[in-house]
Amino acid sequence: MATIGIIGGTRGLGRALVDEYTRRAGHSVYATARYTPPLGTPPAGLHWIGDVDIAHADAATKISVRYGEAGPLDVLIISAGYFGKEEFGHLDWEAEMRMYATSAVGPAFLVQNLVKRKMLGKGSKVVLITSESGSIGLRHESEGGGNYGHHASKAAENMVGKLLSLDLKKLGIAVAMVHPGFMRTEMTRGVGFDKYWDQGGAVEPAVAAKSLVDWIDTFDISKTGEFWAPRGAADIGTAEHVLGPKDKLPVPLQLPW
């Protein structure tokens, strides 16, 4: 039986991952909520851990207290995110600080502390949900600038993942950075990207979750430190400008930094 940890499991992709893993037999799922966990009796195998904010230094302590002595996690997925929309001339200091803390600072401390607490060990997989928006190589004039905090914090998260992969390889812990796809969520609707849903190939979180879980099953230490798009380049607007025709690109697709 695999033990799965999902950081940020109440909305969007995180909730879809909770649902996907609990539907698959043989998994024990520990999912965090930033505030109070969802009401009602959870399905068999699902354990909620409330009051966990990855942007705070005490996240690992709160998780470990509720987790107990269940042994190392087989898979840890860090899906918690925050998007503060910006444009040049109207940057938002507080929003950027929150994006960096959530995407880059928090994950580094969380993984470090879970390793120290032996909640991650040999054979564990750590998956950081980043975004193609964090790829410097995929940025192109056809898309333009803007959203400095979003792009830069995701690029920082990719760097954090790469560095973690170097430190954790000797412990047998694999680390991946993953662009799960452009999704139809409250996060993208809330910043006005819903107008690009149809032309951008946006999918429901449940669809992205299934393809992501299938990909995680194939991921191992041989691919540690790499940046992947399990669904390929279909939803990456700059892919053709940078990588070539989308119909010639493989699925899954390894992304440039």
- The span from the CA of 177 to the CA of 252, in Å, is 13
Q: 79 near 107, Cβ under 8 Å? A: no
- The span from the CA of 58 to the CA of 3, in Å, is 22
Q: Which two tokens stand for residue 24?
A: 């698959």
Residue 168, Cβ neighbours under 10 Å: how many?
A: 23
Bridge partners of 30? Answer: 5, 47
Predicted confidence at residue 15, as pLDDT, reads: 96
- Kindly report the average pLDDT of the chain as a whole number: 92
CA 197 to chain centre: 20
Taken in order of first residue, the domains within the chain and their CATH numbers are 2-254 (3.40.50.720)
- Dihedral sign of CA atoms 190, 193, 199, 200 in order: negative
Residue 139, Cβ neighbours under 10 Å: how many?
A: 18
Predicted confidence at residue 70, as pLDDT, reads: 82
- The span from the CA of 215 to the CA of 254, in Å, is 12
- Please report which helix (H) or strand (E) contains residue 207, including its range: helix 205-218
CA 33 to chain centre: 15
Q: 180 near 212, Cβ under 8 Å? A: yes
Predicted confidence at residue 241, as pLDDT, reads: 95
Q: Are strands 125-129 and 75-78 parallel, antiparallel or unpaired?
A: parallel
Predicted confidence at residue 143, as pLDDT, reads: 84
pTM over 0.75: yes
- The span from the CA of 54 to the CA of 239, in Å, is 31
Q: 225 near 165, Cβ under 8 Å? A: yes
> What pLDDT, in 10s, does the model give residues 160-208?
999 999 999 999 999 999 999 887 555 545 555 554 444 445 688 999 9
> What pLDDT, in 10s, does the model give residues 172-185?
999 999 999 887 55
